[in-house]
Structure 1
Amino acid sequence: MSADGKGPAAGGGETHGIAASTTRLAALKTLGEVFRAAGIATAQRDARLLLLDAAGLSHPDLIRAPREALGPRVAAKLASHVSRRLTREPVARILGEWEFWSLPFTLSPATLVPRPDSETVVAAALLALKDRRKTGRGVRVLDLGVGSGCLLVALLHEMPEATGVGADVSPEALETARFNAARNGVGDRAAFVESDWGRAIEGRFDCIVSNPPYIANAVIDGLEPEVRVHDPRLALAGGPDGLAAYRAIADALPALMAPGAVVALEIGSDQDVSVTELFRQRGFEVEGPFADFGSRPRALVIRATASA
């Protein structure tokens, strides 16, 4: 396969059995085998997503015409996609977007790829707000470390009466989040502020969410290349013990929480005890952990104590 991805169309280089005459079905089978041989756990899923993107198809299109030949243009684009994936670039980065909470999110180098595990934070926040939402009163949401905007946008999408603020230290991330809010129809209810956690945020909020960096610095270099190479280190590095961001958030919360506010935080799967203890030592009540799709601890809900 040529570095510029034109091998299958031009007939040169390593093609992995993909050519203009290859059918869609045969391409799926071949690429699944290629990715499995490379040790990619999501081989068949990746093959399908990259083929759909290269061919500009929906899944029903593929089902309706699986034996149609790729053609030169699609074969060349698919070759480029495959070449990038074999370097362990994530499919989401290749596609430039990813789905979260059934909504599309454009990515940038400054943002994490939204992960299904983080939907636990949205679900936990909505559950904690259940009584407040029944009143019909608008909820004011703050997303600390907004990244792509996935948490904030999902919550605003679920609560049409809500407004929100997304805060991030990265201007590029803020621009991406702003774009995604508009893309998903909630841009008129969202504002974005450059801030190191809560330092530049004014006002108080009914719901605060965050997926902070929580990986211990020394662990990052041992992560899979999809994360280690392609996710922004700023969004991963949680300090020597992985808890630095939680300490900063805990310090900021008293000035940010409205009466009765709920805070939903993502945690590492081995951090439920340590993060719970951190917030309880600072006088907060902690609920959870709430489990992700793999039954691992993934979110906590924080509230001010009744006496606070």
Structure 2
Amino acid sequence: MKLSQAQADGASLLRAAGIEGASRDADRILAAVLDMEPGRLRITEDRDLTADEAARFNKGIAARALHQPVAQIVGFRDFWAHRFKVTRDTLDPRPETEALVEAALARPWKTVLDLGTGTGAILISLLAARAGTTGIGTDISEKALEVARHNARRIGVNARFRQADWYQGISGSFDLIVSNPPYIAADEMAGLSSDVRDWEPRQALTDNADGLTAYRAIAAGAPAMLTPQGIVLTEIGPTQGRAVAALFADRGATTAVLPDLDGRDRVVLAEFGR
């Protein structure tokens, strides 16, 4: 089977399985098998796949047809300026989360605490972009922390990781607290795409309640964990801005709701000590 035939057949199979962006996903899977960027497929000689390449490609297409996310199939996701290992034990870092990274890098800080770090994508991106900074990432999942540690070592940042339920066991103070917590309400889970609902870790998606449990914990603990001019940046669902901002305002913060590139509410900024 030649490359061009693999692309066409893979895309056709994914379309038949109801996958949106079937051609794009087939290209991403094939490019990963060939250890190249998807854009290079267009300028690569139309050669025969080896038996091993064909087997791995077919396995990847079969997994995607079952709605497994491409990042889990290929094992990585590009986020901000780096490539991050992704597994079924972590959320797939999403482009909209880059709004939080951008907001953090627009402000002064030297120490950062990332609550619910997952792959470590937010924390590692921040530390890699600002020399001389340090940070800690917490997560309740030890398997997720193994992924985060791998990503930190490979990218080369000064990050530490600890298994913890939010602030549990964390000492010291931080200039910046960041988090992309589970914010999907229990009654919204059924409406998620199967790519997310059936494949990503449930405890990273939902609090099995109203979607605000994590924000209550983060807001309650933030004043004691921040330096005098410290700030909190939390990702939110697009309808949660007012409710989350109010939780931080009740703890004495000045708040703002920041949009993502699509103009949707995406990040709550809470400034303490002003």
TM-score (norm 2): 0.94
Is the aligned partner of 1:35 residue 2:18? no
Amino acid aligned to 1:236: L
Structure 1 residues 68-107: aligned runs within 5 Å? 68-107=47-86
Q: Would you say how many aligned residue pairs link Structure 1 and Structure 2?
A: 274
Q: Deviations over 1:46-84 (max 9, x none)?
A: 011111122333346423324222232222111111111
Q: Deviations over 1:150-170 (max 9, x none)?
A: 000000011111000111111
1:151 corresponding residue in structure 2: 122
2:232 corresponding residue in structure 1: 263
State the SS of the aligned residue for 2:156: coil
1:11 corresponding residue in structure 2: none
CA contact (8 A) 2:228 2:273 kept: no
Deviation of 1:97 after TM superposition, in Å, equals: 1.4
Deviation of 1:296 after TM superposition, in Å, equals: 1.4
Label 1:114 to 1:60 Cα distance change in 2 as closer, same or farther (>3 A).
closer
State the SS of the aligned residue for 1:208: strand
1:65 corresponding residue in structure 2: 44
2:113 corresponding residue in structure 1: 142
CA contact (8 A) 1:25 1:66 kept: no
| C-alpha distance in structure 2 between counterparts of 1:43 and 1:140, whole Å | 42
Structure 1 residues 120-135: aligned runs within 5 Å? 120-127=99-106, 129=107, 132=108
Amino acid aligned to 2:268: L
Label 1:177 to 1:64 Cα distance change in 2 as closer, same or farther (>3 A).
same
1:296 corresponding residue in structure 2: 264
State the SS of the aligned residue for 1:74: helix
Unaligned 5+ segments in structure 2 are none
1:233 to 202, 208, 218: 202
CA contact (8 A) 2:177 2:231 kept: yes
Label 1:183 to 1:305 Cα distance change in 2 as closer, same or farther (>3 A).
same
Q: Which has the larger radius of gyration?
A: 1
Deviation of 1:303 after TM superposition, in Å, equals: 0.7
1:247 to 208, 216, 224: 216
State the SS of the aligned residue for 1:121: helix
| C-alpha distance in structure 1 between counterparts of 2:227 and 2:4, whole Å | 55
CA contact (8 A) 1:55 1:70 kept: no
Moved over 6 A (4+): none
Percent identity of equivalent pairs: 40
Is the aligned partner of 1:164 residue 2:135? yes
CA contact (8 A) 2:253 2:271 kept: yes
| C-alpha distance in structure 2 between counterparts of 1:167 and 1:283, whole Å | 24
Q: Deviations over 1:82-107 (max 9, x none)?
A: 11110000101111111111211112
State the SS of the aligned residue for 1:235: helix
TM-score (norm 1): 0.84
Amino acid aligned to 1:298: R
